[in-house]
């Protein structure tokens, strides 16, 4: 289920970041009494009762001609476009001004549902001020205080009144969702087109043509899939356009809702450091992964897959378990090799192992290579069971988890991989003290 998105907009210094942090439940936005401190949209997730939604904090809109303010307007417009609901935050201690009316006009044009939150209503003397803001022409106006946590629950009730509770989400027929990730201009959209055999995505040799994450459902050998084409992820220090910043965030959201991530590398350019950073996003999210070396038609020796594989393995040592596919999206050569790998790593990510087999493997591993002792104490593993999937998660009951050395944890992971097919998926080992 696609989570709803809510954005907070308003002029500078009305307390948007304070309310953002209050809703999300942690201090993420920068809060200062200086107008315009929040320049970029900041994303967070809100959990309230049986509801969950994405929340976007935006910079304050000012009608002055400052170039910086123009950038904020662009970013805020993008946030509004992405949102299902907009919370228009105004200052309950001030009169309405040109900035408030400018924002009202933008929101009226958007056609989105708008909730006016009159902030800084932190005492009964100010509660009557709320009525002044009906002049903006929106039906829903509520008084709140982000600083003193007044009216926040009521605001959440209004935001979520038409949302579908997560507990009521129905299991759909299994659909495998995979996202195509990578730097700009590595051929992600061309790859989608080659898989679907039709021109659905915009394909251009201009880096960054694809700015949104686009979902395309299709069937392959009777199975349902959704391909998510994402905007190219640029290195943060080289991001100049606001829309590109937005593209990075959309790409991150695409990774989060994927079952499998396809990391596309450009064979012409080879591997650069940022390819590893992008791969780490998928790894940190616990996603199954396939590495695709695209534009293989541009390589002089097209039979030299062995050498390039060694290069990939050397550069991506932390992804030694991930399969590598060589293809050309442009000529469609070897394109048929990709879908079977996507299916395989997805199946591996939800693989479940019998507890008895798992304990046999760990017991044999310990007999073969005993844990090192530390200050006269040695790690003892009493029992192991699988405690989750997507990615597979294993919980090991031990005498003291403080005795677990990183190298021994890696050794146990390797032994599990040697005995069970977890190609393409990260696996997580959790250590729990026996008496906990």
Q: What's the pLDDT band for 28 if we cut at 50, 70, 90?
A: very low
Taking the mean position of all CA atoms in its chain, how far away is CA 236? 16
Alpha-carbon span 338 to 346, nearest angstrom: 13
Query: For residue 36, is pLDDT > 50?
Result: no
Can the peptide bond before residue 391 be classed as cis, meaning omega within 30 degrees of 0? yes
Same fold, 5-167 and 175-349: yes
CATH 3.30.300.20 fits 355-433, yes or no: yes
pLDDT at residue 249, as a whole number: 58
Query: For residue 31, is pLDDT > 60?
Result: no
pLDDT at residue 269, as a whole number: 84
Query: For residue 275, is pLDDT > 70?
Result: yes
pLDDT at residue 430, as a whole number: 95
Q: Give yes or no for a contact between 10 and 94, defined as CB atoms under 8 angstroms apart.
A: no
Q: What's the pLDDT band for 72 if we cut at 50, 70, 90?
A: low
pLDDT at residue 71, as a whole number: 61
DSSP-derived pairing of the beta strands 260-266 and 175-181: parallel
Q: What's the pLDDT band for 26 if we cut at 50, 70, 90?
A: low
CATH 3.40.50.300 fits 5-167, yes or no: yes
Q: Residue for token digits 């591996």?
A: 348
Q: Give yes or no for a contact between 119 and 91, defined as CB atoms under 8 angstroms apart.
A: yes
pLDDT at residue 66, as a whole number: 56
User: How do the domains of the chain map onto residue ranges?
Assistant: 5-167, 175-349, 355-433
pLDDT at residue 213, as a whole number: 46
278-290 pLDDT per residue, tens: 888 888 889 999 9
Coil vs helix vs strand at 273: helix
413-427 pLDDT per residue, tens: 999 999 999 999 999
Helix axes 242-256, 273-284, angle to 10 degrees: 40
pLDDT at residue 91, as a whole number: 93
Least confident among 25-34, 171-180, 229-238, 345-354: 25-34
pLDDT at residue 125, as a whole number: 73
| Fold (topology level) of 175-349 | Rossmann fold (3.40.50)
297-315 pLDDT per residue, tens: 888 887 789 999 999 999 9
- Helix residue ranges per DSSP H, 144-224: 152-160, 188-196
167-202 pLDDT per residue, tens: 644 444 578 999 988 877 787 778 888 888 754 444
Mean pLDDT of 42-51: 82
Mean pLDDT of 106-117: 94
Q: Give yes or no for a contact between 119 and 89, defined as CB atoms under 8 angstroms apart.
A: yes
Tokens coding 308 = 């390039």
Give whichever of 95-109, 198-212, 238-252 has the largest mean pLDDT: 95-109
> Which residues lie below 8 Å from residue 376, measured CB to CB, with a gap of 6+?
none
Coil vs helix vs strand at 379: coil
More confident call, 43 vs 52: 52
Mean pLDDT of 103-121: 93
Q: What number of CA atoms fall less than 13 Å from residue 161's CA on the CB side?
A: 10
Give whichever of 67-81, 194-208, 353-367 has the largest mean pLDDT: 353-367
Query: For residue 87, is pLDDT > 60?
Result: yes
pLDDT at residue 181, as a whole number: 87
pLDDT at residue 373, as a whole number: 87
How many other β-carbons are positioned within 10 Å of the β-carbon of residue 95?
8
Q: Residue for token digits 């959704």?
A: 226
Query: For residue 232, is pLDDT > 60?
Result: no
> Which residues lie below 8 Å from residue 352, measured CB to CB, with a gap of 6+?
386, 389, 392
% of the chain residues with pLDDT over 70: 82
Query: For residue 126, is pLDDT > 90?
Result: no
Alpha-carbon span 279 to 261, nearest angstrom: 9
What is the average pLDDT score of the chain? 82
What global pTM score does this model have?
A: 0.63
Taking the mean position of all CA atoms in its chain, how far away is CA 144? 30
pLDDT at residue 241, as a whole number: 43
> Which residues lie below 8 Å from residue 334, measured CB to CB, with a gap of 6+?
296, 325, 326, 327, 328
Dihedral in degrees, nearest 10, Cα atoms 413, 419, 425, 427: -30
């Amino acid at each position: 289920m696609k989570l709803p998105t809510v954005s907070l907009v308003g002029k500078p210094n009305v307390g948007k970041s304070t309310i953002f942090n209050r809703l999300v439940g942690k201090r993420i936005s920068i809060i200062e009494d200086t107008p315009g401190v929040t320049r970029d949209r900041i994303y967070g997730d809100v959990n309230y009762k049986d509801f969950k939604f994405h929340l976007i904090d935006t910079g304050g809109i000012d009608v002055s001609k400052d170039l910086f303010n123009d950038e904020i307007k662009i970013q805020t417009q993008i946030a509004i476009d992405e949102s299902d609901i907009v919370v228009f935050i105004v200052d309950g201690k001030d009169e309405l001004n040109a900035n408030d009316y400018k924002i009202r006009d933008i929101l009226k044009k958007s056609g989105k549902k708008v909730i006016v939150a009159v902030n800084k209503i932190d005492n009964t003397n100010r509660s009557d001020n709320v009525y002044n803001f009906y002049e903006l022409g929106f039906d829903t106006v509520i008084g709140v205080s982000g600083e003193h946590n007044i009216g926040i629950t009521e605001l959440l009730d209004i935001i979520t009144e038409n949302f579908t509770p997560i507990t009521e989400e129905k299991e759909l027929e299994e659909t495998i969702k995979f996202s195509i990730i990578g730097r700009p201009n590595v051929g992600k959209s061309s790859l989608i087109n080659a898989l679907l055999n039709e021109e659905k995505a915009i394909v251009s040799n201009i880096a960054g043509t694809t700015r949104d994450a686009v979902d395309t459902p299709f069937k392959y050998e009777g199975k349902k899939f959704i391909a998510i084409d994402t905007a190219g992820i640029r290195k943060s220090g080289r991001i100049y356009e606001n829309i590109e910043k937005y593209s990075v965030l959309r790409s991150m959201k695409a990774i989060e809702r994927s079952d499998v991530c396809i990391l596309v590398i450009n064979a012409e350019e080879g591997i650069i450091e940022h390819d590893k950073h992008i791969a780490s996003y998928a790894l940190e999210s616990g996603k199954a992964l396939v590495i695709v070396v695209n534009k293989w038609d541009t390589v002089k020796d097209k039979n030299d897959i062995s050498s390039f594989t060694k290069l990939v393995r050397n550069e991506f040592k932390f992804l030694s378990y991930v399969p590598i596919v060589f293809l050309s999206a442009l000529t469609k050569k070897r394109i048929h090799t990709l879908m079977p790998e996507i299916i395989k790593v997805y199946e591996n990510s939800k693989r479940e192992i019998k507890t008895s087999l798992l304990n046999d493997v760990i017991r044999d591993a310990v007999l073969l290579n005993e844990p090192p002792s530390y200050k006269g104490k040695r790690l003892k593993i009493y029992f192991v069971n699988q405690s989750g999937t997507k990615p597979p998660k294993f919980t090991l009951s031990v005498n003291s988890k403080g005795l677990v050395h990183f190298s021994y944890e890696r050794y146990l992971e390797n032994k599990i991989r040697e005995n069970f097919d977890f190609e393409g998926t990260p696996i997580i080992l959790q250590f729990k003290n026996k008496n906990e």
